[in-house]
Amino acid sequence: MKEWDRTDLLSLQELSRAEIELILKTAASFKEVSTRSVKKVPTLRGKTIVLSFFEPSTRTRSSFELAAKRLSADTLTMTSSTSAIAKGETYKDTFKTIEAMQVDAIVIRHGSSGIAQQLAAYVAPAIINAGDGCHEHPTQGLLDLFTIQERKKSFDGLKVSIIGDIAHSRVARSNIWGLNKLGAAVTVCGPRPLLPRDIDRMGVEVTTDLAAALKDADVVNVLRIQRERQQAGLFPSLREYAMLYGISREKLEKYARPDIVVMHPGPMNPGIEITPDVAEGPFSVIFDQVTNGIAVRMAVLYLVMQANEADVPQE
């Protein structure tokens, strides 16, 4: 069996430990490209990648675009306001049309859970999930793994706590799958209405006590909290959220290990889920995450598109 034969990247749930490790290894070799003065390799020259973003996104879209360009691929960006979906076309018609333009890969960000999986069954180009609803955000999960590995070397027995709105977080789900497969122990923590039903059955520890989640943790991954959740009655106020679950220097010093690593997938709400002094302080690897995102996405585009190429029967 080949090391990598997936023609899509839809989730971390579907990947094996060996496949995740291969992506991380490949990303490590691509990371160097971005440090050169000429930041480009010819790997995907002549390939077309569509970046279709049906939700607002700055960092993921920029990251994918730079990853594609540093691999010499051509990109076409499609956002919801420019797409015919806004005119009532179904997503299937939209992507059949894009497929007919003979593109090689489609990177998709969409508010509906499962759309990447539905699309992969429907069109031929490689599908890369850039975040589908509350389901998964596999490249974010991978760049988080990559960043943790840089700092902590091994995942065995590593304790990672994810704090915040677990229920609506695709980042949390991808992290849980990835970390569990690599041998880390995951704790999720947040107010009960933001902890989804039966989350313990995904193989995580569950707590509503931030102090308990910080104690002994090697890594804390802080999720963005969205105002709509308060409006939906899931917690009383951002003020109370910040008091109970906001990550501040005082709480870290009081409860956490001195070598704890703090992550955040961005964009941040400074002063709510994380205080600016933590985000910019010595525990934080938030900007490493952004840098590593490009390397990881280069690795994913490379592996998936190679496999997709091999998948096409040769004449």
Partner 1 sequence: MKLLIKQGKIVSHRARRTETADILVDQERIVRIGKKIAARDVQQVIDAQGLPVFPGFVDMHTHLREPGYEYKETIQSGCRAAAAGGFTSVCCMPNTNPPLDNQAAVEFVVRRARECGGVNVFPIGAITRGRLGKELSEIGDLKKSGVVGLSDDGSAVVNAELLRRAMEYASMFDLPILCHCEDPDLAAGGVMHEGKISTVLGLKGIPSIAESIIVARDIALAAYTGARVHICHVSCADSVDRIRRAKRQGVAVTAECCPHHFTLTDEAVSGYDTATKVNPPLRTRQDVEAIKKGLRDGTIDCIATDHAPHAAVEKDAEYANAPFGIIGLETAFALVISELVNQDVLTLAQVVEKMAWRPSEILRLGRGSISEGAPADLTIVDPLQEWTIGREHLFSKSANTPFIGRKVRGKVLYTVANGMPVFAAAAG
Residue 199 binding partner 1, by CB under 8 A: yes
Q: What gap in Å lies between CA 1 and CA 203, rounded to an integer?
A: 29
Nearer to partner 1, 117 or 275 (CB): 117
User: Rule CB under 8 A: which of 2-31 touch partner 1?
Assistant: 13
Nearer to partner 1, 62 or 113 (CB): 113
Q: Do the Cβ atoms of 214 and 256 come closer than 8 Å?
A: yes
Residue 87 binding partner 1, by CB under 8 A: no
Nearer to partner 1, 131 or 246 (CB): 131
Residue 173 binding partner 1, by CB under 8 A: yes
Residue 170 binding partner 1, by CB under 8 A: yes
Residue 115 binding partner 1, by CB under 8 A: yes
| Residue 190: alpha-carbon gap to chain centroid | 19
Residue 297 binding partner 1, by CB under 8 A: no
Residue 197 binding partner 1, by CB under 8 A: yes
In 204-215, which positions are buried (b, 16+ CB within 10 angstroms) versus exposed (e)? bebbeebeebbe
Q: Do the Cβ atoms of 190 and 213 come closer than 8 Å?
A: no
Indicate which single residue of 65, 104, 132, 144 sits in contact with partner 1 (rule: CB under 8 A): 132
- What is the residue type of 157? G
Sorted by sequence, the CB contacts under 8 Å of residue 86 that are 6+ apart come out as 80
Indicate which single residue of 66, 202, 206, 212 sits in contact with partner 1 (rule: CB under 8 A): 202
- Residue 9 DSSP code: B
Residue 155 binding partner 1, by CB under 8 A: no
Residue 266 binding partner 1, by CB under 8 A: no
Residue 159 binding partner 1, by CB under 8 A: no
Nearer to partner 1, 170 or 264 (CB): 170
Q: What gap in Å lies between CA 103 and CA 125, rounded to an integer?
A: 7
Distances (CA, A) of 280 to 143, 164, 270, 287, 292: 19, 19, 11, 9, 17
Of the candidates 72, 96, 33, which has an alpha carbon nearest to the alpha carbon of residue 296? 33
The shares of helix, strand and coil residues in the chain, as percent rounded to the nearest 5, are 45, 15, 40
Nearer to partner 1, 187 or 292 (CB): 187
User: Rule CB under 8 A: which of 64-83 touch partner 1?
Assistant: none
Residue 118 binding partner 1, by CB under 8 A: yes
Residue 99 binding partner 1, by CB under 8 A: no
Residues in touch with partner 1 (CB under 8 A): 13, 90-92, 110, 112-115, 117-118, 132-136, 170, 173, 196-199, 201-202
